[in-house]
Structure 1
Amino acid sequence: MRHAREKSGLSQEELGARLFVSGSFIGQLESGTRRMQPEYARLLDDVLGTEDFFRRNCGASAKSKYPEHFAEAAEAEATATEIREYAPLLIPGLLQTPAYTRAVCRAYQPTAPDDVIEALVTARMERTQLLDDPTEPLLWVVLDEAALRRSTGGRQVMAEALDHVVALVRRNRIIVQVLPFESGAHAALEGAIKLMDFDNAPPLAYFEGVGMGRLEDDPSTVRYQRQTYDLLSACALPPQNSLALIESMAQDYAHEERH
């Protein structure tokens, strides 16, 4: 895409104007941070004179193991250098265990065949391989206490899930803070926050609802979400206190399961 744009003598901003998007959006398409959508593929072929190149290849690249509303965000996540996330109700996907993921997916799709659920579990576990790298991406998570108190999958599953988070923290692989109930009202009462930074592309914010999601690159929107995240971090427990709380809750779940 970059080659075709430069061959046409267009800057990212000029090409963006013809597609009715920002120049930064063009940069994200070129770097692979954003997924090519059919409507942009058609316009690119017309503007850049590439016959049906982008239309043909858009169909092949659109295939994904992830739900449609999350596919673009998952691909962006894989290239991010820093990820900051506030999780109000669930342990984030990158920190989940197979059993926890299975319980979540089954709750979302109670009548789905087992093979469908297992395919979703496999896809999510593949995402967690991002953390196999010892240093990148930086992952900083603010976990609401509600995500820890909700017994997703039962007490044994929760004990295992929290032990897994503890292990990642103790390996110095992630930063986790707990936002306790006693913090009261906070800046993100309306929902989750996910922020992603990249080496060669503008930062993104991801918004998700029930069966829907979207990536946002508008600078003012991303700036506002980053400020909101900073406020949450300021209200949350320090990392060491958060670790102690998660360890204590994991032990409580395990003890209650035994008795």
Structure 2
Amino acid sequence: MARPPQLDPHASLAAALGATVRSLRELRDWTREELADRLYVSTTRIIQIELATDPPNEALAQDLDRTLEADGEVETAWLRMNRHNHPAWALPYLDLERRATRVRKYAAQLVPGILQTPDYAYTLLRYADPAATEETLRRRVDARMSRRGVLEGSSPPHLWVILDETLLMRPFGDDPAIMRDQLGHLLVMSGRPHVELQVLPLESGSHGLMDGSCSLLTFPEEPPAAFLGGPGTGTLLHDAPAVAHYDVCYDHLLVKSLPAEESRDLIHTTLRERYNCPPSSNEG
């Protein structure tokens, strides 16, 4: 029988991760089928990981690490792979986001990355860097989608998001399906017990966060932090008075925002009136 193909672990960070998984599996004399059974995934999924055609998300990387008793080797390879595909200015925030117990966000213009669909993220990244190759865009989209793993673990943070209504109304991309699917995904996520979603209506008027997006992070054993985002950049704040200022600004937005059910109703209405899309049974 022909030996299964192998990748050069130096070819890419995904290939390095795949080679690590394969090496650890073979060290235990397990077949791909045996590893798949232990992880409750398909054998095809293990092949995809080992051949770097579809790397794991964070949750699966952690499961691989535990199952293979890798002592952090697989998870470290996953983190290295995903850090490479995020802009350098975002990395300090992303490291904090993974450790936070509560994440509160105000989104002024764009759906937060942690809640984006692949098509929405692809369109946004393509507009931001028109010269990027398809391969580069795919890796960046995969890296952004990996942030969903923060919400998929056994102890996800409580995510509270306030969306400006202008975000719902603005056409996005060349295909209406992009925004239609994105709004549907927001409804699905808002049905999860650890995700809160509210809409700040246009008639709410001016407020303290009109110049950009803001994220507030709470941790179990360290001071809170704030992250202010703008086009292609961001500022991470640890200074206690500054963080407290944005905390108050966020509380003011909560008062002005629609309650959760009214916010969901507004998204449903937007889907129906702008995208001729009736509510789906899987929207929670």
1:215 to 210, 223, 236: 236
Q: Deviations over 1:138-186 (max 9, x none)?
A: 0000000111112222311111001111011123331011001111212
Partner of 1:227: 248
The corresponding residue for 1:132 is: 152
Contact preservation (8 Å) 1:135, 1:173: no
Residue segments in structure 2 that go unaligned for 5+ positions in a row: 1-79, 278-284
Q: Which moved more, 1:116-125 or 1:150-159?
A: 150-159
Q: Which has the higher contact order (CA 8 A, sep 6+)?
A: 1
CA-to-aligned-CA distance 1:26-55 (integer Å, 9 cap, x gap): xxxxxxxxxxxxxxxxxxxxxxxxxxxxxx
Tell me which of 84, 103, 113 is aligned to 2:104. 84
What is aligned with 1:173?
194
2:188 corresponds to 1:204: no
Q: Are 2:263 and 1:242 equivalent residues in the alignment?
A: yes
Which secondary structure does the structure 1 equivalent of 2:215 belong to? Answer: strand
2:44 corresponds in structure 1 to none
Question: C-alpha displacement at 1:209, in angstroms?
Answer: 2.3
* 3-state SS of paired residue (1:196): strand
Q: Secondary structure at the match of 2:144?
A: helix
What amino acid sits opposite 2:203 in the alignment?
E
1:82–1:197 CA contact under 8 A, matched in 2: yes
- Whether the 8 Å CA contact 1:83–1:140 is kept in 2: the answer is yes
- The residue number in structure 2 matching 1:5 is none
User: Aligned AA for 1:91?
Assistant: V
User: Cα gap change, 1:199/1:61 in structure 2, threshold over 3 Å: closer, same or farther?
Assistant: farther
1:101 corresponds to: 121
Q: Is the 8 A contact 2:157 2:194 kept in 1?
A: no
Match of 2:27 in 1: none
Distance 2:155 2:260 in 1: 18
- Are 1:123 and 2:134 matched, yes or no? no
Give runs of aligned pairs for residues 153-192 of structure 1, distance below 5 A: 153=173, 154-192=175-213
User: C-alpha deviations, 1:182-234, integer Å up to 9, x for none?
Assistant: 11212211221110111121111012223222211000000000000000111
Equivalent pairs, count: 197
Root-mean-square deviation (CA), in Å? 2.0
Distance verdict in 2 for CA 1:62–1:181, change over 3 Å: closer
* Cα distance in 2 for residues equivalent to 1:92 and 1:125: 11
Aligned partner of 1:40 in structure 2 is: none
Aligned partner of residue 216 in structure 2, secondary structure: strand
Contact 2:105 2:213 in 1 (8 A): yes
Q: Is the 8 A contact 2:226 2:238 kept in 1?
A: yes
